[in-house]
Amino acid sequence: DTSIPPPTESRHRTLVLCFDGIGADDNNSNIVQFFSMLNKGDSDRQLCYYQGGVSTHTTSRIVTSLWSKLTQTVDLMIANSLDYQVIGGYRFLMENYKEGDKICIFGVSRGAYAARALAGMIHKVGLLPNSNHQQVPFAYQIYMRDDEKGWKQSVLFKKTFSIDAYIQFVGVWDTVASVGLIGRRLPFVKSNTAIKTFRHALSLDEHRAMYKPNFVSFSSTSTTAFSSTKSNSSTQSNVYKYHGLSWDEDEWQREEETSKKRIDDQNTDRNWPTDVLEVWFAGSQRDVGGGAVTDNTQHSLARIPLRWMIRQCFATDSGIQFQVEKLCEIGLDPASLYPYCKDRPPPIRIPDPPPLPNAPARNGKQEKGNMPPWAEVGDVIMQRQKSEEEEELLDALCPMYDPLEMSHMWWWLLECLPISQRVHQPDGTWTTSTQMNLGRPRELPGQELTGISVHRSVKTRMEAKHLNYTPRLKFDVEPEWVD
């Protein structure tokens, strides 16, 4: 077999769901690239599901380019595709899930929000048994309700009709904070104790109004990679640490907290802490989530967070099976991922010249006679390709895509449109203000308390003097440079 982990070593079947959110154009996102690398040949070991991006779901009639642009514009404003994506993914799981299966969900941009919403729906209302199609719309309506009646209904619905499933892995590229000009917020998108591992690649340089980031925020009941714990203030108010910064919850969040706890309390068999890691990368959203360059472009910034996400799948023992040849094509060495995920060598620094393509053999290389089939295939390919560190250097120095600097008048019109936004004040509080964005950079308050995790390729780009690169997002502390 030429996939890793080999199907013979998998004790559980894996269900992998991928939600696009970049839009219907000719440039594939990282979700498409990720999906193309999955092993799809053995449904007894792994089932794969792909849901298209913004307004790619259409009727059977021929859709003109003008109509496609119009539907994408409408979807940007009202996020019509969100319901379609979440319900579609839920139906796939309902039809295929068996006890013991591992559920792994991925998404990019608005597809990332849909991925997290699907995980939230599974947590709140459970997973209906197969063939209960008529119940799905009702289950989704219950999930969306965040009033007291909705939370009571969800507890009863889950206990009566559903299977209690957990999510093995959620991996997302740059989740947006709102979906559509008419903001929508769904339960358990920011915090979900049903998720075992959560990985998030974020854009340092995205600065459009409609693409503010959606971070995770976990209460003290979940141990994460951040200091996201409940405040010990003597006021005992409902204040949470949001990336280290205290902020008062919105009214709807205060009302739902008790009911959320009821659902979490039902999952008494889940004693694991949620493993959370959010890492920042250079570039705009399309440089992080893919879609900025044509598919035949050999190197791009988006390849770096793509490789990082795949590494995280192996490092956390997600069980997801990948095609060896596809991994090699993006510069990943299968021997560095399996049977265990090895630490990466130091990055190639500028101006040190990169090593030649035919670099010395990797440490710990096996003799061919003792190699399993997947290792032999990977070894042959890697002998004629660059190392991951060489690929990373070339990708890190690629041009950056910025819609606001490329004469995209549509985006500048949105920048001048007054939009309600949460604004961080100098005294450490948050206020809601209606104002024009005008290309304002993203913010990450509270770095002094929680730090900031930044991929090491960003440092490489910053050290390239000819690029004169400084991230738009301000670093208040020295970042933790991660692999």
pLDDT (tens digit per residue) in 254-287: 444 555 665 666 555 566 789 999 999 999 999 9
pLDDT value, residue 445: 86
Mean per-residue pLDDT, 397-416 = 78
Res 47 pLDDT > 80: yes
**Nearest-CA neighbor of 321 among 98, 102, 148, 23?**
102
When mean pLDDT is compared across 127-136, 320-329, 439-448, the lowest value belongs to 439-448
pLDDT for position 64: 52
Instruction: Average the pLDDT over 328-338 and give the result.
Output: 96
Q: Which of 157, 93, 86, 166 is nearest to 130 (CA)?
A: 93
Token pair 């640490």 is at which residue?
A: 241
Q: Is the pLDDT of residue 201 over 60?
A: yes
**65: Cβ contacts below 8 Å, ≥ 6 apart:** none
Write out the H or E segment, with its range, that includes residue 247: strand 245-248
> Using CA atoms, how far apart are residues 35 and 285, in angstroms rounded to an integer?
19
- pLDDT above 70 coverage of the chain, percent: 70
> What pLDDT sits at residue 319?
95
Cα 240 to Cα 325: distance, rounded to the nearest angstrom: 45
Q: What is the mean pLDDT of residues 86-115?
A: 97
For strand 3-4 and strand 322-323, is the pairing parallel, antiparallel, or unpaired? antiparallel
| pLDDT for position 185 | 78
Alpha carbons 168 and 317: distance in angstroms, whole number: 9
Q: What is the pLDDT of residues 226-254, one digit of tens each?
A: 333 333 333 332 323 334 332 333 433 44
- Residue 208, pLDDT > 70, answer yes
Q: What is the pLDDT of residue 446?
A: 86
Q: Flag whether pLDDT at 51 surpasses 50.
A: yes
Give me the mean pLDDT over the 306-316 stretch.
Answer: 98
Mean pLDDT over residues 365-393, rounded?
62
56: its two tokens: 């790619």
Question: What's the average model confidence in pLDDT over 291-316?
Answer: 95
- Which regions of 118-166 does DSSP assign to beta strands (E)? none
Distance CA 133, CA 206 (A): 39
| Domain range annotation of the chain | 1-402+449-483
Binned at pLDDT 50, 70 and 90, residue 26 comes out as: low
Mean pLDDT, range 30-53, rounded to an integer: 94
Least confident segment among 31-35, 74-78, 156-160, 165-169? 74-78
Instruction: State the chain's maximal CA–CA distance in angstroms.
Output: 68
Q: Residues near 420 by Cβ (< 8 Å), separated by ≥ 6?
A: 183, 432, 433, 434
Task: Flag whether pLDDT at 405 surpasses 70.
Answer: yes
Tens-digit pLDDT profile for residues 449-481: 999 999 999 999 999 998 999 999 999 999 999
CB 450 within 8 Å of CB 277: no
pLDDT given at position 366: 39
Q: Which of 78, 71, 32, 76 is nearest to 55 (CA)?
A: 71
pLDDT score for 225: 40
Instruction: Quickly list H helices, 12-105.
Output: 30-37, 65-78, 81-96
Residues near 415 by beta carbon (within 8 Å), at least 6 away in sequence = 208, 209, 404, 436, 437, 438, 439
Q: Which two tokens stand for residue 280?
A: 């920042």
Joined together, the tokens standing for residue 400 give 């950056």
